[in-house]
Amino acid sequence: MRMQSINSLSNLVNYIPLAATVVTCFLSVILARATLRYAEATDKSLALAREEFEREWSPELHIKLERISASEARIVVTNLAKISVLLQLLQLRKLSQAVPFERCFLNDPLVGGMTWTQEIGKRLVVCTGPEFQGLIAASVTFYSSGRMFRTDWFRFYIEVGDGRIIRLNPTSVPARRVRVLENRKGPERRHEMAQDVAAGAAVSKHSAGS
């Protein structure tokens, strides 16, 4: 009887390392899953922080046309980002025209969070003509961090009668952010973003030649 007890105790002692190995593997699996979850949470936090940083420091402009009087209007460009930009070109066109009708070359800095304004009543009337009802669009090209960007076309409904601005209201906000036209810091260029401006100049030369 005593020998049986000793054998049972010996067998139990032999199973202890096996049980310890199983427990260790189980705890290792739990720790590995916890580590993976922590890594995923860290990646998500870094992605959110990166997105927030890019949203705050990536250039983003808002364009608004305002009617001041029957003979005058102004454009208000707001820099929604923290980074400063250098305004280069203002373009106006009717939506029925593929090529911008009016272009105004600029060289004005715009600090982050600030606005830039200019009176454009005469330019609007020249663009639309003395009698017009319909949509026009405005876009701004600018430099920021050594690269050239261009906003999408902001649309406005305008009504002009007898050369006087009767109504001027915004109709929509562009769904796309600013697009890179040129990179000054390196050879990399995104030509597809520059096609609109370049193609407009090509169409104008072709029309003039024909």
Over residues 63-112, the pLDDT tens digits come to 999 999 999 999 999 998 888 999 999 999 988 776 777 899 999 999 98
184 within 8 A of 147, measured Cβ to Cβ: yes
According to the model, what pLDDT value does residue 138 have?
A: 93
What per-residue confidence (pLDDT) applies to 149? 92
Query: Residue 171: what are its φ and ψ, rounded to 5°?
Result: -115, -30
Query: Rounded distance, CA 30 to CA 202, Å?
Result: 65
Task: Assess contact for 102 and 51: CB atoms under 8 A.
Answer: no
What are the φ/ψ torsions at residue 77 (nearest 5 degrees)?
Answer: -110, 120
- Ranges of residues in the chain with a pLDDT under 70 are 1-15, 53, 55-56, 98, 173-179, 182-210
φ/ψ bin of 48: left (φ > 0), alpha (ψ from -120 to 50), beta (otherwise): alpha
Share of the chain above pLDDT 90, in %: 39
- To the nearest 10°, report the CA torsion of 99, 100, 103, 109: -110
DSSP E strands: which ranges in 25-129?
A: 61-67, 73-79, 85-94, 102-110, 115-119
- What's the confidence (pLDDT) of residue 183? 60
Predicted local distance difference test score (pLDDT) of residue 137: 92
